[in-house]
Amino acid sequence: MMFRSLSARFLWLVVIFVMLAEVLIFVPSVSRFREEYLLARLERAQIASLALLASDGPFAGELAGELLENAGVFNVALRRDAVRELVLSSPLPGPIAQTYDLRDANAFILMRDALDEMRRPDARIIRVIGEPVRQGGLLIEITLDTANLQAELWDYGKRILLLSLLISGITALLLYLSIQVFVVAPMRRVIRSMAHYAESPQDVTRILTPQSSIRELREAEEALNLMQTDLTGLLRQKDRLAQLGGSVARISHDLRNMLTTASMLADRMEMSDDPSVKRAAPKLVGSLSRAINLCESTLAFGKAQEPPPKLARFRVAALIEDVVENEKLAVVDGADITFLTEVPADLHIRADSEQIFRVLSNLVRNARQALEATKQPGVIEILVKPSVQDGQPGVAIRIGDTGPGLPPKAREHLFEAFQGGVRKGGVGLGLAIAAELVRGHGGKLELMRSDADGCEFRIWLPDGV
Question: What digits encode the pLDDT tens for the residues 30-86?
Answer: 889 988 988 888 888 888 777 766 665 444 566 677 777 788 888 888 876 666 677
Burial 129-140 (b: 16+ CB within 10 A, else e): bbebeeebbebb
- Return the half-sphere exposure (C-beta side, CA atoms, 13 A cut-off) of residue 446: 6
pLDDT at 457: 94
Beta carbons of 70 and 48 less than 8 angstroms apart:
yes
Q: Percentage of the chain with pLDDT > 90?
A: 13
Q: What is the mean pLDDT of residues 350-377?
A: 89
pLDDT greater than 50 at residue 254: yes
Q: Which helix (H) or strand (E) holds 378?
A: strand 378-389
Higher pLDDT, 126 or 71: 126
Pairing status of strand 348-351 against strand 392-401: unpaired
At 408, the pLDDT band (50, 70, 90 cuts) reads: confident
Write the DSSP symbol of residue 453. Answer: T
pLDDT in tens, 145-174: 888 888 998 998 888 878 877 877 787 778
Query: Measuring CA to CA, which residue among 244, 245, 242, 259 is closest to residue 294?
Result: 259
Q: What is the mean pLDDT of residues 271-282?
A: 67
pLDDT at 414: 79
At 88, the pLDDT band (50, 70, 90 cuts) reads: confident
Question: Exposed, middle or buried: residue 437 (CB in 10 Å: 0-12, 13-18, 19+)?
Answer: buried
Beta carbons of 262 and 397 less than 8 angstroms apart:
no
DSSP conformation letters of 158-208: HHHHHHHHHHHHHHHHHHHHHHIIIIIHHHHHHHHHHHHHHH-TT-GGGSP
pLDDT at 253: 56
pLDDT in tens, 419-437: 555 554 444 567 888 888 8
Residue type, 186: P
Computed over its alpha carbons, how large is the radius of gyration of the chain?
A: 49
DSSP conformation letters of 3-18: GGSHHHHHHHHHHHHH
CA distance 64 to 55: 10
pLDDT at 318: 92
pLDDT greater than 70 at residue 294: no
Q: Percentage of the chain with pLDDT > 70?
A: 75
Beta carbons of 265 and 281 less than 8 angstroms apart:
no
Instruction: Please report which residue ranges of 270-352 form alpha helices under DSSP H.
Output: 275-301, 316-330
pLDDT at 425: 43
The alpha carbon dihedral of 190, 196, 202, 204 has a sign of: negative
* Integer angstrom CA distances of residue 87 from 76, 80, 145, 199: 6, 11, 19, 93
Query: Measuring CA to CA, which residue among 76, 198, 72, 211 is closest to residue 132?
Result: 76
pLDDT at 317: 93
Beta carbons of 355 and 441 less than 8 angstroms apart:
yes
> 456: alpha, beta or left, given left = phi > 0 and alpha = psi -120 to 50?
beta
Higher pLDDT, 82 or 457: 457
pLDDT at 202: 73
For the question of whether the overall pTM of this predicted structure is more than 0.75, the answer is: no
* Integer angstrom CA distances of residue 34 from 71, 113, 164: 16, 9, 20
pLDDT at 304: 47
